[in-house]
Amino acid sequence: MRKTSLRGNPSLLPKYDIMNVQVTVRYGLMQRCERSIITIPGPSKGGHLEYTDYECRPFPRSVKDKCDDENRLFCALWTSAQYFTELGIGFAAMGLAALLIGVSTHSRRRRVWRAVAGLLFQLVTFILVTELYRKERFPAFEHAKPGVGYVLNAVSWVSAADRGHQWAAGNRAYKPIQGC
């Protein structure tokens, strides 16, 4: 069995090639999807028959993913990441509403941007998934590569942490004291 990896999906993606069978497994935050492609040489020269199956299931599962035994820590952290994402979506929606109301009522920018702090939940999710992937806490992650969505998420957090913007503070922006 030869193990390779694919890029292009927003999650962890191991790919397995076995003779005429290609199996690609996509691990998302809340589900695991498996695509099987079986290629059989056809009767004509250069022809072939192809069978494709695509199946998704909730992830992680206690029995199938061994959450009761050896993967207990992984399953607990992965499920926590799911909850943090759901909380983050709720806070992001409230933050967006506060941002729209604040901009439309000419509220001070500094007060409006505090509402966007709900994105912290998304950061916690990103940190949990990164740590689980980095330490290969789940056996299938051994040969997995991060997808495009994961890389874009990493770039967005790095660019956001780069520096604050003076325009966000309005007239009361922080200005360093010169000469100290």
Q: What pLDDT, in 10s, does the model give residues 66-103?
A: 888 888 888 899 999 989 888 888 887 877 787 777 76
Per-residue confidence band for 18, with pLDDT thresholds at 50, 70 and 90: low
C-alpha distances in Å from residue 1, one per residue of 16, 76, 140, 143: 7, 31, 14, 13
Q: How far from the centroid of its chain's Cα atoms is residue 81's Cα?
A: 10
Question: Residue 11 CB: number of other CB atoms within 10 A?
Answer: 21
Q: Is the pLDDT assigned to residue 8 strictly greater than 90? A: no
Comparing CA positions, the residue from 167, 163, 168 lying closest to residue 110 is: 168
Which residue carries 């200005």 as its tokens?
175
Q: What pLDDT, in 10s, does the model give residues 21-55?
A: 888 888 888 888 888 898 888 777 777 888 899 99
